[in-house]
Amino acid sequence: MLLTPAVALLFIWMIVPLALTIYFSLLRYNLLDSESAQFVGFENFRYFLTDPAFLASLQNTLVLVGSVLGLTILLGIPLALLLDQPVIGRNIVRLMVIAPFFVMPTVSALIWKNLLMHPVSGLFAWIAKLFGAPSIDWFNDVPLFAIILIVSWQWLPFATLILLTALQSLDEEQKEAAEMDGAGALSTFIYITLPHLARPITVVILIETIFLLTVFAEIFVTTGGGPGLQTTNIAFLIYSQALIQYDVGGASAGGLVAVVIANIVAFFLVRIVGRNLEA
Amino acid sequence: MARMATSRHVAVSTIAAWLVGFLIFFPILWMVLASFKTELDAFAIPPKFLFFHWTTENYAAVQERSDYVHHALNSIIVAGGSTLIALLIAIPAAWSMAFSPTKRTKDVLLWMLSTKMMPPVGVLVPIYLIYRDFGLLDTLTGLVFILCLGNLPIVIWMLFTYFKEIPKDILEAARMDGATISRELVYVLTPMAVPGLASTLLLNLILAWNEAFWTLNLSTLQAAPLTVFIASYSSPEGLFWAKLSAASTLAIAPILVLGWFSQRQLVRGLTFGAVK
């Protein structure tokens, strides 16, 4: 059957690594000392879940995902509304707005970190000085916020583009009818535009969450998770356990925890999207 | 009419839109400018916006010091290879689900989508160990393979939504006119499928080109694509802003052009057809 290769590949891709992760998670197994692999039951999970680093990174993950979602949607809605207006040269503006989405994560992170956020020679520091404000050492004073800004810049175009696409399919006549009935711009927005955007907003939340839960490169090239644990998210914590500390068992337990978290999110979001699709 | 765009309205929204667009685009513009500066000018405070000594020496230096072309070729092979292989596997699958759906088709599609929701970091350890044992670490084969699997669900979904829009009546009409299966495929279906195939191809080239989890973890030097090459500037090399900017500009330019061409299909592809 035509479907077989795809299904088989995806099945193997899903089952084999997952099974191995489960198996490793029950072992005490360090790569530096591979003879020592021994069965320890749920020891790794106990260790991982009670590790203060886990709680810190879980919190960072939630703050990161939540803030980026909030920023991209709250800024994306007015931006999409603006681009939906009659604008001279709209196509060029669209190109400028969408551009950050195509920039590879390592590039955007390093350009922001150096050219813009550098505490002495960065552009932000210079602007702060113009206004007589003290310059911020972004990656020391507010490291997680700095990461949030970079990631939001990357994802704002995505949210905007989807919301704009949805706005353009909004029935003009409905809006006109509302205005004829004396509805102001604000109530037109609240009662007609916003409900129309409910589904695209849900879709934005779903897709961004999938990608944001695993933000990695931006942290890897800027802070390396630090200072301390301030910018370590779950993905980065597992990476450092696996490939820096070579703790295969611990990292596997952490990996399974990440899979469970992602599945919880996916479960709720798919339900919401499903309900939206049927409505 | 209240809704007629007055010239005042147009002026205000035009100015606002250009201002916001410029702000969002600015980091990229600033990077491109820095790539033409000397290292000293790139650091200068107050910053030099346009009046500096324009030079292309950084571009030459990037190639000389770090063999940029080698990494660019890796990116092309990894992104292109993984996309083409994914398409080869996905086309028959999407085709059969779109044209002869069964009761389980919807479940299969949702299941495929769910494989995309598995966080890559959840399987980092076994993949890394398998790659180590099979000698796939830092090889192009290894990267092509993993990116192909990672993007396969998206490719299938995108193709499925496109194929589903091809009206089935056309097939029947062609059959009535006595077309054989192969003629039907060549003259009727292929032309109608090309736009969908092209946008799927473009979107996945972009995704694979910018992929920075597996590439960072599974390659270091020989097979390192541009994502990894740029990451090497995060250490002391990061002090060379002009060179970092030149390398970055080269790394994103081709994909920015592709992306701008495919922006209309982007929404559809990334939302699994949920927003059109």
Does A110 sit within 8 Å of B238, measured CB to CB? yes
CA distance B154 to B86: 10
pLDDT tens by residue, B56-80: 888 888 888 778 889 999 999 999 9
Q: Residue B21: which of A270, A127, A193, A83 has the closest Cα?
A: A83
- Segment A33-47 mean pLDDT: 78
Q: Is pLDDT at A37 greater than 80 in this prediction?
A: no
HSE-up of residue A7 (Cα within 13 Å, Cβ side): 16
pLDDT tens by residue, A73-129: 999 999 999 998 888 888 889 889 999 999 999 999 999 998 899 888 889 989 988
What pLDDT does residue B236 have?
60
What pLDDT does residue A146 have?
95
What pLDDT does residue B2 have?
45
Q: Sorting pLDDT into bands at 50, 70 and 90, what band is B21?
A: very high
- Pick the residue with more confidence: B148 or A2? B148
Chain B partners within 8 Å of A14 (Cβ): 115, 118
pLDDT tens by residue, B91-113: 888 888 888 778 787 778 878 87
pLDDT tens by residue, B178-204: 777 777 767 777 788 888 888 888 888
% pLDDT > 70, chain A: 95
What pLDDT does residue B215 have?
94
Chain B partners within 8 Å of A248 (Cβ): 125, 129
Locate the chain B residue with the closest alpha carbon to A256.
B122
Q: Could you tell me if A176 and A195 are in contact, meaning their C-beta atoms sit under 8 angstroms apart?
A: no
Q: Is pLDDT at B265 greater than 80 in this prediction?
A: no
Nearest CB among B97, B226, B260 relative to A95 is that of: B260
Q: Is A147 on the interface with B (CB under 8 A)?
A: no
Q: Is pLDDT at A26 greater than 50 in this prediction?
A: yes
Locate the chain A residue with the closest alpha carbon to B109.
A7
What pLDDT does residue B58 have?
87
Q: Is pLDDT at B1 greater than 50 in this prediction?
A: no
Question: How close A197 comes to chain B (CA, Å)?
Answer: 11
What pLDDT does residue A275 have?
61
What pLDDT does residue A65 have?
94
3-state SS, chain A, equals CCCHHHHHHHHHHHHHHHHHHHHHHCEEEECCEEEEEEECCCHHHHHHHHCHHHHHHHHHHHHHHHHHHHHHHHHHHHHHHHHCCCCCCHHHHHHHHHHHHHCCHHHHHHHHHHHHCCCCCCHHHHHHHHCCCCCCCHHHHCHHHHHHHHHHHHHHHHHHHHHHHHHHCCCHHHHHHHHHCCCCHHHHHHHHHHHHHHHHHHHHHHHHHHHHCCCCHHHHHHCCCCCCCCCCCHHHHHHHHHHCCCEHHHHHHHHHHHHHHHHHHHHHHHHHHHHHHHC
Question: How close A61 comes to chain B (CA, Å)?
Answer: 13
Least trusted range by pLDDT, from A89-93, A204-208, A264-268, B233-237: B233-237
Q: Is pLDDT at A279 greater than 60 in this prediction?
A: no
% pLDDT > 90, chain B: 33
Q: Residue B147: which of B65, B66, B229, B210 has the closest Cα?
A: B210
Chain B partners within 8 Å of A210 (Cβ): 116-117
What pLDDT does residue A108 have?
94
Average pLDDT, chain B: 84
Average pLDDT, chain A: 86
Residue identified by tokens 């597996």 is: B214
What pLDDT does residue B52 have?
81
pLDDT tens by residue, A180-227: 777 777 888 888 888 888 888 888 887 888 889 889 999 999 998 878
Amino acid (one-letter) located at B103: K
Q: Could you tell me if A276 and A199 are in contact, meaning their C-beta atoms sit under 8 angstroms apart?
A: yes
Does A104 sit within 8 Å of B124, measured CB to CB? no
